[in-house]
Chain A
Amino acid sequence: MSPENVNCLPESDVKLTLGLPGGGPISAKPAKPPAAKAQVVGWPPVRSFRKNAMKSCKYVKVAVDGAPYLRKVDLEIYSSYQELLNALEEMFSCLTIWNYLNERKIMDNVNGMEYVPTYEDKDGDWMLVGDVPWKMFVESCKRLRLMKSSEAIGLAPRTPSKNSSTS
């Protein structure tokens, strides 16, 4: 078994001096692994539970226009826009997700206000939720805002969107 990357080590950069740590010049900086190194199954030997816990979890703030405080959701735990909006519905229990797939509007049961789900992306722009594939959205979303429909001029769709395959 000859591991493939033994030959990739930058031998010419290394002075072969055996000195106690701190004693001589440390001539070898940690060698960068070859860029195309394949992931070895089960290496490094870290328990799956720990690996999963260390995955970057994606907590973003959720603001609802008119609500006194914000909430936070972890986008990583949902796998589709529908799941996310259902969770938001539970969180802000006065709202109902109404015909999301077609109209992308959220309805306040009590006072009849309509909300449009929007998010701020990595560039700082405010976007309508639902245009891009779910994973791309999770990657780029920095915060969510349920915007009052009356303010969402130019953002809210007037016609049902054709692109509803968003999970």
Chain B
Amino acid sequence: MNYFPDEVIEHVFGFITSHKERNAVSLVCKSWYKIERMSRQRVFIGNCYAISPEGVIARFPELKSLTLKGKPHFADFNLVPHDWGGILYPWIEAFAKSRVGLEELRLKRMVVSDESLELLSKSFVNFKALVLVSCEGFSTDGLAAVAANCRFLRELDLQENEVEDHRGHWISRFPESCTSLVSLNLACLKGEINLSALERLVARSPNLKSLRLSRAVPLDALQKILMRAPQLVDLGTGSFVHDPASDAYNKLKATILKCKSIKSLSGFLEVAPRCLSAIHPICHNLTSLNLSYAPGIHGNDLIKLIQHCRKLERLWILDCIGDKGLGIVASTCKELQELRVFPSDPYGVGNAAVTEEGLVAISAGCPKLHSLLYFCQQMTNAALITVAKNCSNFTRFRLCILDPIRPDPVTMQPLDEGFGAIVQSCKRLRRLSLSGLLTDRVFLYIGMYAEQLEMLSIAFAGDSDKGMLYVLNGCKKLRKLEIRDSPFGDTALLMDVGKYETMRSLWMSSCEVTLGGCKTLAKNRPMLNVEIINEDDQIDFSSDDRQKVGKMYLYRTLVGPRKDAPEFVWTL
């Protein structure tokens, strides 16, 4: 079958980097499977319970980079109990025992203990990059171990993790010999930071390109740090509060002018709006701007800022920008590809300042837009139809109307037609989140048109099992389906059980599925784990199969029921 020596094929495979393509290539024949597996360096595991660490090591002994995801997505919204699982330690333990030369570890929604960080830092001599997203379970002691022991650390990227602050100056644990840092993201840390140690670390890191500071770094410290790192490409400020008349502020203004390479700006975790003019000089270079953690900036100041940002490709902001502000974005940011508008009042259906008007303006003004996350007060079918006409490039479309079952306020109709227009027009749509009043009809459209859809999030939608069936039957590329508070039951769940082995996972909570339905599903299905999350002992397993199941999470796996499931998780 092979016309070329293995080395040539391996060389060719070196140009194939995406996981999907490498997976496809490995299925061609045994020889290609073998060559591919021995040469794969980056391994992506979308569900840490789908395979064992030993299995990964056995198949990919040359791996250098591992990406692991743990808890299901709805854990982000407090729907998954705290100790459900997703524990890192067994992975580090297994890798440490093996001969794998791990260099990069990227984790999402996993429980990471200080012990695991310490073991990681001591077991892999060439360890270079640690990226933790939405993880928990560790403290600054774990970070200290990484700082102290990973001699060639290039990247330490902490995004939105819950990190316990144990004081003790962990930044000082980076040895003087550590000069390799390229990326350091501390934005999520809450505790005090040793500012002079941080400044010295930056000073001896000539390759530092990305630096995101925490709230504990005040404006005058920022100025000193920037003096040491004028080569930065990505900057996240900490606290941006100062008297604009002061020396420190004027120094900062002057220093920022030297930072000609900054393309990406974030932070402003605490901000005095009058200080924002300091960054106006660098706005014309920005391709990425994240002001979504800066509630102190009012609409008009945001607008003044954004009017300078003509090259923006990615914008994350709060809804206090308002429809008017989004209009300014639409007329200024012609290169915009990704927009996220977060609620400034995340606790309720309060006073969201954006409506369908803002979205329509953006769709008309930004032809390159393909990724959207939009929290808004209301949406109309007409607006969605217009957006679909204006922007057929969407790959990710996530709409969240703050009142989850709100109809079109103009027509009082469900939003089926609007979302239908989106899926029909956006042929490359891979991810979709729905909200508002929705009937089974929207799922008919999704099943018919959303051919590339891989991930679908449903909440408070649909009328009957038909809705879920349209999706399961129609969306051939579906990988992740998560549903809450929708009237889908056993009929839909059990219609095509084989489908779930082609998907990564299915989450259903507060739906109509029963214990009996789940049991039937799980019967004779060794490749699926069907987990029932039984909080507060709601379910009595010895009795009635007709009980409704509060939370069900099922996923395909090669290794059967997991051994670390807590008491309240039952694998059927």
Q: Which residues of A contact B (CB under 8 A)?
A: 1, 3, 5-6, 9, 11, 14, 16-22, 26-28, 30-31, 33, 37, 39-51, 53-54, 59, 77
Contact = CB atoms under 8 A, between A and B. Distances in A.
A26 B343 CA distance: 23
Select the residue from A17, A31, A39 with max chain B CB neighbours within 10 A: A31
19 contacts: A5-B403, A11-B412, A16-B411, A18-B382, A18-B410, A18-B411, A21-B356, A21-B380, A21-B386, A28-B410, A33-B403, A41-B78, A44-B343, A46-B343, A46-B346, A49-B160, A49-B161, A53-B293, A54-B345
Interface string B349-383: 10000011100100000000000000101101111
A97 B129 CA distance: 45
B500 to A, nearest CB: 23
A44 B346 contact: yes
A54 B79 contact: no
Contacts of B74: 42
B346 A50 contact: yes
A100 B355 CA distance: 52
A49 B79 contact: no
Interface in B462-520: 484-487
A47 B316 CA distance: 15
B409 to A, nearest CB: 4
A18 B381 contact: yes
Given A39-B347, A54-B346, 12 more contacts: A1-B487, A6-B407, A14-B409, A21-B357, A21-B360, A21-B380, A28-B409, A41-B77, A46-B342, A46-B375, A49-B162, A50-B160
Given A21-B382, A37-B349, A47 B409 contact: no
A27 B380 CA distance: 13
Given A1-B486, A20-B386, A51 B346 contact: yes
Which label, helix, strand, loop or mixed, suits the secondary structure of the B interface? loop
Interface string B385-413: 01000000000000010111111011110
Secondary structure type dominating chain A contacts:
loop
Given A41-B79, A42-B78, A49 B484 contact: no
Across the A-B interface, give the 4 residue pairs with the lowest CB-CB distance, nearest first. A42-B77, A28-B409, A49-B160, A46-B346
Interface string B70-93: 000010111100000000000000
A54 B160 CA distance: 13
B529 interface: no
Interface residues of B, number: 56
B87 to A, nearest CB: 19
Contacts of A11: 412
B26 interface: no
B560 interface: no
Contacts of A46: 77, 342-343, 346, 375
B536 to A, nearest CB: 13
A16 B412 contact: yes
Contacts of A45: 76-77, 400, 433, 457, 459
Interface centre among B74, B77, B345 (most CB of A within 10 A): B77
B268 to A, nearest CB: 12
A106 B211 CA distance: 41
Nearest to B381: A18
Contact of A14 (B343, B345, B412): B412
Nearest to B378: A30
A57 B96 CA distance: 42
Contacts of B486: 1
